[in-house]
Amino acid sequence: MTGWTKLFSSIVTSSVWCEPHATVRVWVAMLATKDADGVVEGSIPGFANLARVTIDEMRAAVATLSAPDPDSRTPDHQGRRIEVISGGWKILNHAAYRERGQAKEGSRAPYMRAYRARKRTDDVTADVTRNSSALRVTQIQRTDTEAEAEAEKEQRTCDAAPPVAGGRARKPSKASSNVNGLTVTATDNGWSGNWVGKLVDLWSPHGAIKPGRLGTALKGLKALHPFEDVERGLSAFLKAGKASFGPEVFAQAAGDWIAGRSGPERKETLGDRMVSETTKFLTEGRR
C-alpha cells in the first residue's frame, strides 16, 4: 500500500542523525512505512532487505532505536523511538509528531478537516434532496392514478344506469357533493355519464390534461352549476390562456368565469410552473 509520512526538517539536527548511516537509513525507512497508528510491520531479515542494510546492521539499528537516548529532544519514553511488538515495531513518538504538524502555523490540516466535514454534509443534503424529489414525483403519480380511477369509476356508474320501460332514459337522480366542507344536494343538471370526456376534449387543444385530475377537480361543481354553464365558463378560462394554472384554479373561481367576470387576477408562480411541468412529464411518459 502506497502512503506518505511527515518528515520534519529538524531530523537533520536530531541525535539520531548522529548515529551510523545504517541506523539512520532504518529509521527513515520505518517512518516511511508506518501506518496511521505508527505501527511498522516486518521482520529483521525482511526489513533489512527493504532498507538495504545487512542483518547485523538491522539488529544494531533496532537496539539503538529501542534504547533510552538522554540526548533526545523528546523526553517521553526516556528518549526511546521504537518498541518491539508482535509482527514488527511501534513508533513511540508517532502521535506527538502528528499533532505537532497539524498545530503548526500555516498548516492546512484544520482547513482540510473543515472541508471534509462540509463535503460530507453537502453530500447528505444532496442525497436527501434527490430522495425527496423522487418521493414527490411518486406521490404526484400515485395521486393522479387514484384520481383517474375514481373518475372512471364514476363514469361507469353513470353509464350503467338502466333505462326505464318504454326505452326512455331514467330521470336524473339527485347527487350529493361535498364542497368546502358542506354537503350540497342537487340534480344532475345535464351532467351526463361521459362529462369528463367532454371537458377533456375541450381542454386538449390548450394542453394535455389527465381525465382523473380534471374529474377530481371539477366534480364538486356538479351540485352548484348546470353542465353547460361549467362548459361555457371553462371554455372562457382556456381561451384566456389560463390552462397552465390547472383545473383546480378554475374550480375555485368557476362562478366568476361562468358569469363572464374572467375570474380573479392571478400571476403564475414558480410552484404552478413546477406542478404543470411535472404533470406534463408524467402524462407524456405514459403515452
The per-residue pLDDT for 247 is: 92
**Domain regions of the chain by residue span:** 9-106, 108-160+172-287
Q: Report the candidate in 199, 200, 197, 173 with the shortest Cα–Cα distance to residue 187.
A: 173
Give the number of residues written for the chain: 287
DSSP 179-194: ETTEEEEEE-TT--TT
CA distances from 165 to 107, 143, 162, 192, 193 (A): 96, 41, 10, 20, 20
Q: Where are the alpha helices (DSSP H) in the chain?
A: 21-33, 44-51, 55-65, 94-103, 109-159, 195-203, 211-218, 227-239, 247-252, 254-258, 270-285
Angle between helix 211-218 and helix 195-203 axes, rounded to 10 deg: 110
What pairing do the DSSP bridges indicate for beta strands 88-91 and 39-41?
antiparallel
The per-residue pLDDT for 90 is: 93
Q: What is the pLDDT of residues 124-178, one digit of tens each?
A: 666 666 666 655 655 555 555 665 666 666 556 545 544 444 444 444 444 444 4
Average pLDDT over residues 10-31: 89
Q: In angstroms, rounded to a whole number, what is the distance separating the alpha carbons of residues 80 and 189? A: 100
User: Grid coordinates 404552478 are at which residue?
Assistant: 272
Contact 208, 280 (CB under 8 A): yes
More confident residue, 100 or 49: 49
Q: What is the pLDDT of residues 202-213, one digit of tens each?
A: 999 998 999 999
The per-residue pLDDT for 166 is: 44
The per-residue pLDDT for 169 is: 42
> Around 84, how many Cα atoms within 13 Å sit in the side-chain half-sphere?
9
Q: What is the pLDDT of residues 73-84, one digit of tens each?
A: 877 788 899 999
pTM of the predicted protein model? 0.37
**Backbone CA torsion sign across 11, 38, 49, 59:** positive
> Around 263, how many Cα atoms within 13 Å sit in the side-chain half-sphere?
24
* Start-to-end CA span in the chain (Å): 54
pLDDT tier at 265 (50, 70, 90 boundaries)? low
More confident residue, 167 or 36: 36
The hierarchical CATH code for the domain 9-106 is 1.10.10.10
Average pLDDT over residues 184-196: 70
The per-residue pLDDT for 70 is: 85
